[in-house]
A = this chain, B = another copy of it.
Amino acid sequence: MAAPTAIKTDIDLKLAAELAQQLRVDSVRSSTSAGSGHPTSSMSAADLLAVLVSRHLRYDWDEPANPDNDHLIFSKGHASPLLYSVFKAVGVISDEELMTGYRRFGSRLEGHPTPVLPWVDVATGSLGQGLPDAVGVALAGKYVAESPFRVWVLCGDSETAEGSIWEAIDHASHYKLSNLIAIVDVNRLGQRGPTELSWDLETYTRRFSAFGAQVLSVDGHDVGAIDRAMTRAADVSGDQPSVILARTQKGRGFSEVEDKEGWHGQPLPPEMAERAIIELGGERHLIVRGPKPVAAARVPRTTADGAQVKLPVYEVGDKVATRKAYGDALAALGARRDVVAMDGEVSNSTFADEFAHRYPERFFEMYIAEQQLIAAAVGFSVCGYRPFASTFAAFLTRAYDFIRMASISQASICLSGSHAGVEIGADGPSQMALEDLAMLRAVQGSTVLYPSDATSAAALVAAMAGLDGISYLRTTRGAYPVLYRSGEFFPVGGAKVLRSSDADQVTLVGAGVTLHECLAAADQLAAVGISARVIDLYSVKPVDTATLTAAADATGGRFVLVEDHHPEGGLGSAVLEALADTGRVDLRVAHLAVREMPGSGTSQELLDAAGISAGHIAAAASGLAGA
């Protein structure tokens, strides 16, 4: 760290240009030292970042948690050498860390930025995600926190081919996010050659304008022009997001690579790096600070306050859909001012509309744009809110890359997917989630919940609000009997044993609709003298290994595992993996799942056809009990 006296403030454009050269030199040095990275993609944007951090970004580098700080998101995450060089230039990491840490094992200076660094909001590196995430941050700032912060996003030109960029701009203009500024580094070269639009800034302008942005085109190496554009974009009094289109050269500043193909993702060999540093004017070690955040009257950023959350109460035996219980519980959670909700234009199906009606100021309609739906949730998480995002479970597949990245972003977001499985009936397979348990379980650190009744669903929604990471609630379309009394406790990682006796011969494991089928099967089995244990596996991840192990011991390892899901990676896998992880598995298993492509029909017809209804369960259990 440089001594405080060395810190320069009130940076003029001449010094900003110096700073840009320093950022280039450090991008070269760090990537060459690591033997990997993207120096040329960093050099194109160095002037943009130099002007931004020294003259426009309002950020207290000593207090990254200051809620009024502007946000800086590198949507083109591969330009990490540039970002880390900025961190050196503002004095929060040392030159030594930059040179010995970048891309090394155990270092926080990862190949692409992640929030292991306190100045990084979200993980980037899967292109087209930083801008949608930023929309979420800007929504939080403008509508909930009411903070004057701005959100600055550095985008690559290649990533504008991602549809998610257009979902983001569309939503930014719909919600009049004048606090959002996207800076597009149009260096015309992608990984394997020219981009689709090259330097056609006119087409970019038409597109971004048509999607509702204020567009400012600049020579991305003219610090004066950049400064003027940023000054204009930073004025949040309008009602449009801003897009600064910067015409740049990849590898700018080093003639051997400048605007040349074949240098994407290539660190310069050491001798070349030496020549580059000389051409760029040599090493510099400026420490600069730009403007400070504006503290303003605003809604305090709350976490769970002492709000009384009064969960809905259901009568045992009443038929209530778990998706309805989701809506009821979410509306109840709204008493907590940190809870926000969003939905993908199906809130009257997911029942998120119950929250929307009660707390319209904290509900965000994301229309049919599931990528932006998840990204908005991530953005709210960045700002300390507790977002709940819902759509049909089948359509969460649209956002899998965003969910995966949300996990790397250390976001805590709560997802609800309705209309799971063949149970939905007539709409057919396009609307049936049959892969969602596999998809969500495979996310690092995730929680996967699948309630069978309204009481447990409501309790689990409340539990989700306190979980770290990605949590997922799978809900069912149809209404089924309430099984549990109000007040029953449903710990995450638990399970309920609904039927058991000392004489149990076989264990039936289900969740959601199949739990009801398991109960019916147990009745059928009892009628023929077979005693079946029934487990409600409402927590699919983490799973209740102790209850499963006890059942295995009690029923000679005989299990019927039943799920309204494809056979791979779902509830059955969860049970098998958990028992395997105990080191020892001695089982006789029938695994009933949806193995063929379903069509339309009634719920019962489709459960029967898939072989996951009570009759099939009873038959499988009889077979095992006799074995």
User: Quick one: given A367-B195, A577-B568, are A606 and B404 in contact (CB under 8 Å)?
Assistant: no
- Which residues of A, 231-246, contact B by the 8 Å Cβ criterion? none
Q: How many residues of A contact B (CB 8 A)?
A: 117
A–B Cβ pairs within 8 angstroms, 24 of them: A77-B430, A103-B428, A105-B609, A106-B599, A110-B428, A111-B431, A114-B428, A123-B429, A125-B431, A126-B398, A126-B430, A161-B369, A162-B368, A166-B166, A191-B346, A192-B353, A370-B401, A397-B404, A400-B400, A439-B439, A444-B566, A568-B573, A583-B590, A583-B627
Cα-based distance from A449 to B597 in the complex (angstroms): 21
A565 to B430, CA, bound (A): 28
**Interchain CB contact (< 8 A) of A400 among B161, B398, B567, B570:** B398
Within 8 A of B (CB), among A388-422: 394-395, 397-398, 400-401, 404-405, 407-408
- The chain B residue with its CB closest to the CB of A407 is B597
Whether B369 and A163, one on each chain, are in contact in the complex, defined by CB atoms closer than 8 angstroms, is yes
For A601, list chain B residues within 8 Å (CB). 104-106
Contacts of A435 in B (CB 8 A): 400, 404, 439, 442-443
Proximity bits, A358-382, B CB within 8 Å = 1, else 0: 0000000001111110000000000
Residue on B nearest A596 in the bound complex, by CB: B444
Min Cβ gap A471→B in Å is 15
Binds B, one of A11-19, A205-213, A248-256: A205-213
User: Contact between B426 and A36 (Cβ–Cβ < 8 Å)?
Assistant: yes
CA distance in complex: A597, B408 (Å): 7
B597 x A577 contact (CB < 8 A): no
- Does A92 lie at the interface of the complex (its beta carbon under 8 Å from any beta carbon of B)? no
Known: A110-B428, A164-B163, A368-B162. A599 touches B123 (CB 8 A): no
Assess whether A34 is interfacial by the CB under 8 Å rule: yes
- Is B430 touching A602 in the complex (CB atoms < 8 A)? no
Minimum CB distance partner of A583 in chain B: B588
- In Å, the complex CA distance between A405 and B435 comes to 11
- Nearest Cβ in chain B — how far from A324, in angstroms? 16
Is the Cβ of A191 less than 8 Å from the Cβ of B349?
yes
- Shortest CB-to-CB span from A197 to chain B, Å, is 9
A348 and B443 form a contact (CB under 8 A): no
- Contacting residues, chain B, for A124 (C-beta < 8 A): 430
Does A188 reach chain B (CB closer than 8 Å)?
Answer: no
Excluding A196-B367, A435-B442, A569-B569, 8 further A-B contacts by CB distance (< 8 Å) are: A107-B600, A109-B600, A397-B400, A398-B401, A407-B597, A568-B569, A583-B588, A584-B587
Q: Which residues of B contact A576 (CB under 8 A)?
A: 573, 576-577, 580, 585
Q: Which residues of B contact A161 (CB under 8 A)?
A: 167, 170, 345, 367-369
Residues of B within 8 A of A220 (CB): none
